[in-house]
Structure 1
Amino acid sequence: MTISEINIHFFRMINDLGKEYSTFNPVMIFIAEYMVVFLALAVIIYWLTRNKINRMMVLCAMVTFIMAELFGKLAGMIHSNNQPFAELTNVNKLIEKAVDNSFPSDHTMLFFSFCVSFWLFKRVWGFLWLVLATLVGVSRIWVGVHYPADVLVGATISVIIAIIVYKVVPKISIIHKFIGMIEKGDQFVLSALSKQKETKSKDV
């Protein structure tokens, strides 16, 4: 079997599960489409905790994703393919998606960039983020919008970059200065709000 045939074979294996076990389709659709909202909320919550480690983690995740997207674009210039539903017959397509180059998977790179970064900083419970990223990758195949190779390459790019960023970025002094500036800004805002509340209470 050629690489292309193997790619299609594993796509069929996963995508056809949606036909055989259709009761799981709503769950897979939710993971594939809307889990990104949960990730965004998690990022906001981590940032608003005003914990220096959490903020370093979020910054590393953001840098990882930006770099992963750049490398992903380069990979997409070397190889390209449309979504499976646009190239194959009898695909179990469960969500709407415009036809374009689906290699590598942007969704997978987003989740692996953030989730692997979270895992590197929070090893105890971080594996749950890895599980989530994997589920998102599988769900994109399940709903018919990506091949396994799209997901695998996207995940590989993000994992490699996340590890490099984790080892390099926290050692850069300007990053620490930037976080320090943000913390001073937080303190200024909180102090101003506190004074405003005190003024209002005295007026009453």
Structure 2
Amino acid sequence: MNLFLFRIINGLAYKSVFLDKIMMFSSKYIPYIYGIIIFTYFIYGVIKNNRKLKYMTISIFILLLINFLISYIIGLVYYVPRPFVANKVNLLYPHNVSSSFPSSHALGVMTIALGISNKVKKIGYLLILVSILVGISRVYVGHHYPSDVIAGFIIAFSSNYIYLKLLHDKVFKFLKVNSFIV
């Protein structure tokens, strides 16, 4: 099923120059745009002395660290070669031959989108939709299988849920007590 879905999505590559450009842009540059969004929220929070925004960005940063550590450990324990290593694929641009599972791009953008949606609903929901596009684009360009992207999303959703239930209040309390941080 994984390879079947991969072939359907990746099979669309090189059929439309316009779609190829959208997918390459989504795959390559949207994660950087998300980083700029977080940085902008933090700077705006500092300038306006808005604790809600500063705390939101710190929470997202904490979640990113946790999630990328989880992803790294999974990649060490469960190595999955990228689709272009073992299969003939439509590879729109080159990528290094590292573990494919889980997708760090999908994990990162969804972590940021969910973190923003916890405090700024409308923008967060829009970013969640764009994150789904990023996930699809990673398959489209030939860098990941659908299961890699889904795993990245599951880790992001799970850690966000656990963070909100178990750590959110503790981290907020720590940051509030140590007001020099926020």
Q: Corresponding residue for 1:188?
A: none
Aligned with 2:92: secondary structure? coil
Distance of 1:71 and 1:106 partners within structure 2: 10
Q: Corresponding residue for 2:92?
A: 94
- Aligned pair count reads 176
> What are structure 2's unaligned runs of at least 5 residues?
none
Alpha-carbon offset, residue 153 of structure 1: 0.5
Q: Which residue, 91, 115, 121 being the options, matches 2:119?
A: 121
Aligned residues: CA RMSD: 1.6
Distance of 1:174 and 1:120 partners within structure 2: 19
Letter aligned with residue 73 of structure 1 = Y
* Contact map agreement 2:116 2:123 (CA 8 A) in 1: no
Return the TM-score normalized by structure 1.
Answer: 0.80
Letter aligned with residue 124 of structure 2 = G
Q: After TM superposition, where is structure 1 displaced by more than 6 Å over at least 4 residues in a row? A: none
Letter aligned with residue 86 of structure 1 = V
Q: Corresponding residue for 2:11?
A: 16
Describe how 1:74-113 pairs up with structure 2 within 5 A. Answer: 74-89=73-88, 91-113=89-111
Distance of 2:81 and 2:166 partners within structure 1: 35
Return the TM-score normalized by structure 2.
Answer: 0.89
**Matched residues, percent identical?**
25
- Choose 167-176 or 135-144, whichever is displaced more: 167-176
The structure carrying a bigger helix percent of its residues is: 1
Tell me the alpha carbon deviations over residues 28-77 of structure 1, each in whole angstroms, 9 at most, x when there is no partner.
11110111221121111100112211111111111111111222233224
Alpha-carbon offset, residue 20 of structure 1: 2.9
Q: Max radius of gyration: which structure? A: 1
Q: Which residue, 49, 61, 73 being the options, matches 2:44?
A: 49
Q: Corresponding residue for 1:177?
A: 177
Distance of 2:120 and 2:29 partners within structure 1: 24
Alpha-carbon offset, residue 110 of structure 1: 0.8
